[in-house]
Amino acid sequence: MPTDDRFARTATDRYRDLYALRAAGMSGSEIRALFSVLERPEVISLAGGNTDTDIVAHRIPDCVAAVLAGPRATGADNPLGYGMSDGVPVLRERLTELMALQGIEAAPHQVLPTDGAQQALELIGKIFCDPDDLVLTEAPTYVGALQAFQSYQVEIRAVPTDGEGLIPEALVETLAQLAGEGRRAKFIYLVPTFANPSGITLSAERRPEILEICARNDLLVVEDDPYAYVRFEGEDVPALRSLVDEGIIYLGTLSKVFSPGMRVGWVLAPEPVRERLLLAKEAADLCSSPFTQMVAATYLGSGHVEEDLQMVRKVYRERRDAMADALDAYFPRAAQTRLPEGGLFLWVTLPSSLDTKAMLGRALEQGIAYVPGTAFYPRKADGLHAMRLNFSYPTLDEIDEGMRRLGAVVNDELELARSLEV
Amino acid sequence: MTRIAVVRGGRSLERKYSLLSGHHVASALRHIGHDVTEVDVDEQLTRSLEASDVAFIALHGRDGEDGTVQLICEALELTYTGSAPRTCHLCFDKGFAKGALDAAGIPTAPGFVLSAEAVRRMGAGAALRRAAQRVGHPLVVKPAAQGSALGLVVAQRPEDLSAAVMEALNYGDRVLLEAFVDGRELSVGVAGPDLRPLTPVEIRTASGVFDIIARESPGAVDLICPAPLTPDELERVHRIAVDAARTLGVRDFARVDMRIGAAGPVVLDVKTCPGLSETSIVPLAVAESHVSFDDFVGDIVEAALWRSASAGV
């Protein structure tokens, strides 16, 4: 008789029966395991979404000193104490001024600061999403949004896009399909300007049309707008939130303007939604750090923002161009990209014989990291041939060397694919 | 107080697992009073090793399991734990190990190895397909020299073969195609001067395949220890594990991975530096044997020191 495994010592997670269904369904990824080599100095990473914080780093000591020297007798004035859940008042004021540059009119009391825009995504999932609810997105779309919404066990359905962003007719068709199924989407999540990862911007012509379709179908819009300030060429397009102020939740962040490490983002939402987000935030963290909020507010009020943004745009444009040149020089012709007019990423599509997730091991062995395309799709079978490359963080030399290494990996892989096809 | 350099981390894609193993080993060695330094694989490695009495090699993948760091220790005449370079080299490439085990009459899954170079330069893609047809599907396709199931794919149908081979060759220059043994997955640790078998551990996953996705998904893997086995099965897997380890020249400790199919157990892999983290298989088996992990790693160090003293080094 076999020994009875009821009495076996097991390395099973002993808490497994206790987890909520949403946690039990969380799945792992080999990408996370492989990325432990990113801390090795010889590896060049084109994988993250980091900015070049050196551009603003020299401003920080003065901002910190000003915050610590300021009055901090009680409550909301104390950068080292607990703050209010609805954020530091002076930051809310500065954020409304920043949004005004995008043509967005808002009052400070309408703004809810969050720990990066990522927390806003999580809070949106928390207050809107039940299991099996439906959420619409572009595809590819921001991986952090997929993670935030999927942790609430929603079904994510992609609406087709083209070079001008979301296709209005496709949105109409999708909504008609849903109506036919007797279903209604909770909201549509969009990164309309320099979408992560594709870099595509929803055209100015389509914006009112998309909003009109959403309004007609009572579809709530979540506009995630991290990159609008990082436009280095082309015409500005209006934020969706600047065109309407109902039926839309706007998410902003200082991660691309100031520092991702400060974790300062915000939500501008219709009042009833803001109230629920605030309650959800209270439960999540009581308050965002008053210290970092005050440092950020001091920076925004310092008079250096536009000057620094000009530098950000200049530096990132050079790096984008360097990456595009390196793509031409080192990659096979079949590698394609669409040159974005802003943002942080190139989205590169390779021949269909290549699987960028499978290729990641070889790339990391060669000291170069990227994010495989599958990470950005709700269906894991999509995006196999694409990769996202970050140009905002690496130096020009690192971009050239990194692209040289990656190009060699891609060429090697293509040769192998051809050999196997024979 | 013995100065021990625990070598962990490294350049391989198994870095994450090695950091966990190294931390667990270092903590245990500190508990029993050793002077422990945790070191990584970089340009300072040799200097760090020179400042130590013993190197405890807790590296997974290249450098640690292919004999590279062991060769440095040999050149320095530094005492180190685990198997000698030749055994590491042999075990690190599953194709070489399989050949040695086959020659010794130890059961393995039928399979064959081809190099990327042969596929690229010698038209060996056709040979792959013919051989795959001979072995039949489902077919396990994996890099010959890689651990942690990285690059392992089960090709269910002939049309899956090319993609699976591409994936495997992304993790090494040689690909191993092996018959899928439908059955149970089992690991047996061996340890000590006479390579005594530890209690077998059965690995259960929802998909039936212990691949990297299962390893990385919280709660997706159950390790059952002791594995539910009949006395005959237990005797057989113990014997096979010890025979495999001895055949390949294992020293101090190792883990022998097997599957038990309709025709009995077959050896898939012998790991000369298996995972030693708090949630790894070997520490689980050690705990089942009522030996503390502190004593287990302490004994490994003592064995290495004794070996050096005996050799007059």
Q: Which residues numbered 21-50 in A keep a CB inside 8 Å of some CB on B?
A: 24, 26-30, 32-34, 36-37, 40-42
| Pair of tokens at residue B176 | 């191993």
Q: How many residues does chain A have?
A: 422
Chain B residue numbers with beta carbons less than 8 Å from the beta carbon of A11 are 201, 221-223, 225, 279, 281, 284
| Pair of tokens at residue A246 | 């109902």
**Contact: A29, B229; criterion CB under 8 Å:** no
Please give, rounded to a whole number of angstroms, the shortest distance from the CA of A30 to a CA of chain B: 6
Residue B117, helix vs strand vs coil:
helix
Chain A residue numbers with beta carbons less than 8 Å from the beta carbon of B215 are 28, 33
Tell whether A6 lies on the interface with B, counting CB pairs under 8 A.
no
**Contact: A421, B229; criterion CB under 8 Å:** no
- Strand-pairing partners, residue B203, are B185, B223
Chain A residue closest in CA terms to B122: A419
| Residues A67, A61: Cα–Cα separation, whole Å | 10
Please give, rounded to a whole number of angstroms, the shortest distance from the CA of B209 to a CA of chain A: 15
**Contact: A42, B225; criterion CB under 8 Å:** no
Chain B residue closest in CA terms to A1: B230
| Residues A187, A199: Cα–Cα separation, whole Å | 22
Question: Do residues A414 and A332 lie in contact, with contact meaning Cβ atoms separated by under 8 Å?
Answer: yes
- Identify the weakest region by mean pLDDT among A38-52, B14-28, B96-110: A38-52
Amino acid letter for position A121 = L
**Contact: B13, A19; criterion CB under 8 Å:** no
Tell me how many degrees the CA angle B96-B99-B103 measures, rounded to the nearest 5.
145
Q: For position A10, what pLDDT does the model report?
A: 57
pTM of the model: 0.89
| Residues A285, B187: Cα–Cα separation, whole Å | 44
**Contact: A12, B219; criterion CB under 8 Å:** yes
Question: Do residues B54 and B48 lie in contact, with contact meaning Cβ atoms separated by under 8 Å?
Answer: no
Measuring CA to CA, how many Å separate B306 from each of B77, B297, B300, B303?
A: 14, 14, 10, 5
Burial B98-111 (b: 16+ CB within 10 A, else e): bebbeeeebbbbeb
**Contact: A8, B226; criterion CB under 8 Å:** yes
Quote the distance between the C-alpha of residue B306 and its chain's center: 24
Please give, rounded to a whole number of angstroms, the shortest distance from the CA of A361 to a CA of chain B: 6
Question: Which residue among B162, B218, B281 sits closest to A28, beta carbon to beta carbon?
Answer: B218
**Contact: A12, B222; criterion CB under 8 Å:** yes
Query: Mean pLDDT for each 10-residue chunk of chain A (422 residues)?
Result: 46 75 73 81 92 93 91 69 92 96 94 97 97 96 94 95 96 97 97 96 98 98 96 95 97 93 96 97 95 96 94 97 98 95 97 92 94 92 95 97 98 92 68
- Strand-pairing partners, residue A58, are none
Chain B residue numbers with beta carbons less than 8 Å from the beta carbon of A5 are 202, 224, 227-228
User: Residue B312 pLDDT > 60, yes or no?
Assistant: no
| Pair of tokens at residue B215 | 């390893």
User: Residue B13 pLDDT > 90, yes or no?
Assistant: no
Chain B residue numbers with beta carbons less than 8 Å from the beta carbon of A27 are 213, 217, 220
**Contact: B166, A355; criterion CB under 8 Å:** yes
Q: For position A205, what pLDDT does the model report?
A: 97
Q: For position B311, what pLDDT does the model report?
A: 77
Interface contacts (A, B; CB < 8 Å): 128
| Residues B167, A413: Cα–Cα separation, whole Å | 10
User: Residue B21 pLDDT > 50, yes or no?
Assistant: yes
Question: Which residue among B17, B123, B228 sits closest to A4, beta carbon to beta carbon?
Answer: B228
Q: For position A9, what pLDDT does the model report?
A: 54
Amino acid letter for position B192 = G
Q: How many CB atoms lie within 10 A of CB A188?
A: 24
Q: For position B191, what pLDDT does the model report?
A: 96
**Contact: A419, B119; criterion CB under 8 Å:** yes
Tell me how many degrees the CA angle B43-A34-B267 measures, rounded to the nearest 5.
95
Question: Do residues A155 and A132 lie in contact, with contact meaning Cβ atoms separated by under 8 Å?
Answer: yes
Chain B residue closest in CA terms to A360: B170
Indicate the average pLDDT of chain B: 92
**Contact: A8, B227; criterion CB under 8 Å:** yes
Residue B223, helix vs strand vs coil:
strand
Chain A residue closest in CA terms to B219: A13
**Contact: B116, A416; criterion CB under 8 Å:** yes
| Residues A159, A188: Cα–Cα separation, whole Å | 9
**Which are the contacts of A298, defined by CB distance < 8 A and separation ≥ 6?**
A63, A66, A67
Among B13, B161, B293, pick the best mutation site for testing chain A contact (most A Cβ within 10 A): B13
| Residues A324, A344: Cα–Cα separation, whole Å | 13
Residue B9, helix vs strand vs coil:
coil
Q: How confident is the model at residue B208 (pLDDT cuts 50, 70, 90)?
A: confident
Comparing C-alpha atoms, which of A336, A342, A321 is closest to residue A199? A342
How far apart are the two ends of chain B, measured CA to CA in Å? 19
